[in-house]
Homo-oligomer: A and B are copies of this chain.
Amino acid sequence: MSNTKVLPLLEPAAGEAAPCCPPLTERPFTADEAETAARMFKALGDPVRLRLFSAVASHEGGEACVCDISDVGVSQPTVSHHLKKLKDAGLLSSERRGTWVYYRVEPSVLATMGRLLAIPSSAA
């Protein structure tokens, strides 16, 4: 539980915006920035994981457990496996309550990834 790799971007100083990274259009990324950001993109680069992420992100209350997710066409152990991968990549947080682990999207992740893809105002 405490042994998962958490992205640096999920550990911002209290109340501050996540530090990684500038918009992709701003300047060439450094190797470190690319490592951090690529991990997020890679986690969403699988159709099943993306469906699960979307299922959690759009679920009532902004959180969901395996028990809420049944229609992505894979077994429950596979769902659990992918949810754990999304958590390990820092995209979801989780909390055990009774029988189930509930997953929640980190709003800071959406903000960080959205910032990466920001379009320069000159091109808007």
Contact = CB atoms under 8 A, between A and B. Distances in A.
Name the interface size band of chain A.
35 or more
> Copy number of this protein in the oligomer?
2
Contacts of A38: 44-47, 49-50
Interface in A38-80: 38-39, 41-51, 53-55, 57-58, 62, 71-73
Interface of A: 24-29, 31, 34-35, 37-39, 41-51, 53-55, 57-58, 62, 71-73, 105, 107, 110-111, 113-114, 117-119, 123
Contacts of A123: 62, 107
Contact of A119 (B26, B72, B107): B107
Contacts of A119: 107, 110-111, 114
